[in-house]
Amino acid sequence: MAAYADRAGLRAFVFVPAGKVAAGKLSQSIEYGATVVEIEGNFDDAMRIVRQVAAETDVYLLNSINPFRLEGQKAIAIELLEQFEWEPPSWIALPGGNLGNCSAFGKALREMFDLGFISRMPRLAVIQAEGAAPFYNLFSSPNRSTLEPVPHPATLATAIRIGNPVSWKKALRAIEWTDGVVERVSEQEIADAKAIIGRDGIGCEPASAAALAGVKRLVETGTIEPEESVVVVLTGNLLKDPDYTVGYHAGRLRVGDEADTREVLGRFANRPIRAAADVEVLKRLLSERS
């Protein structure tokens, strides 16, 4: 948004919850010329303030509450189906925060089905972090009538640290259209899944890893069957949140000279290449530096 606004000669404001946005994302908004405004409070506080101010002024709101934004996000699902030659996978798994992606995917799949591009709907699996799981709670409630906000959402996956998702109604409709499910995963499961995605040479931000962690859980509980095909959408690059990775590993191996270096090489040469992250260590390190 910042980059395109600047190209068009428009002023861009980016409102973020103070101290709760990953460094990579912040650096891009700033670098592309946006005026970045930090709002005291969490994502939901920022969302509330921005909605109110946008309603009173001539600021155009481009958060995913804006339906045109969802129209754009639909392209992810449509291109995915195209790459599958319109033979959809059994499941598509997404991380769930503000629920814009879930809403956009639901709309795209429904439209592709109604237009005859696909002959069956893939099932959506939306995965939330345990500490920020209002949509999971709604999905698990008997009548699914009203989303109960989580007042203090807590997860190291900053992109889904959201307690009061604006798109929950559209997202719930998407789940119903696609016979979808909502799952939640722990911080440890997110960190472990992130390590696996990294070891595969791809890498992603923590929120994206939640989707893979959720798939693992859904396979274990029998919701996803062994023969079914699953696409996991990684919504953010590893480089958006380097601190999550570096924080955990900070100061792990340090050498001063050739002798030290030879010793380290010898010591590690035959070890298993890498253990998954210990999320308690990660939490402590990240809280120390923030």
Which chain residues interact with its own copies by CB under 8 A? Answer: 3-4, 6-7, 11, 13, 15, 18, 23-24, 26-28, 30-33, 35-41, 49-50, 52-53, 56-57, 59, 194-195, 198-201, 203, 237-240, 242-246, 249, 251-258, 261-262, 264-265, 268-269, 273-274
Q: How far apart are alpha carbons 28 and 10 in whole angstroms? A: 17
Taking the least distance from each CB to its own copies, the nearer of 44 and 183 is 44
Taking the least distance from each CB to its own copies, the nearer of 225 and 260 is 260
Taking the least distance from each CB to its own copies, the nearer of 115 and 253 is 253
Taking the least distance from each CB to its own copies, the nearer of 30 and 154 is 30
Q: How far apart are alpha carbons 260 and 280 in whole angstroms? A: 29
Q: How far apart are alpha carbons 190 and 250 in whole angstroms? A: 19
Q: Give the pair of three-digit tokens for residue 107.
A: 């709309």
From the CB of 62, what's the least distance to its own copies, in Å?
14
From the CB of 237, what's the least distance to its own copies, in Å?
7
Taking the least distance from each CB to its own copies, the nearer of 38 and 228 is 38
Taking the least distance from each CB to its own copies, the nearer of 13 and 177 is 13
Asked if 97 contacts 153 with a C-beta cutoff of 8 angstroms, the reply is no
Taking the least distance from each CB to its own copies, the nearer of 15 and 136 is 15
Amino acid at 143: N
Residue 33: partners with Cβ closer than 8 Å, 6 or more residues away: 2, 3, 5, 6, 12
How far apart, in Å, are the Cα atoms of 51 and each of 13, 61, 187, 229?
13, 8, 30, 39
Q: How far apart are alpha carbons 242 and 249 in whole angstroms? A: 11
Sign of CA dihedral 127, 130, 132, 137: positive
Residue 182: partners with Cβ closer than 8 Å, 6 or more residues away: 96, 125, 126, 127, 128, 135, 136, 138, 139, 140, 175
From the CB of 70, what's the least distance to its own copies, in Å?
23
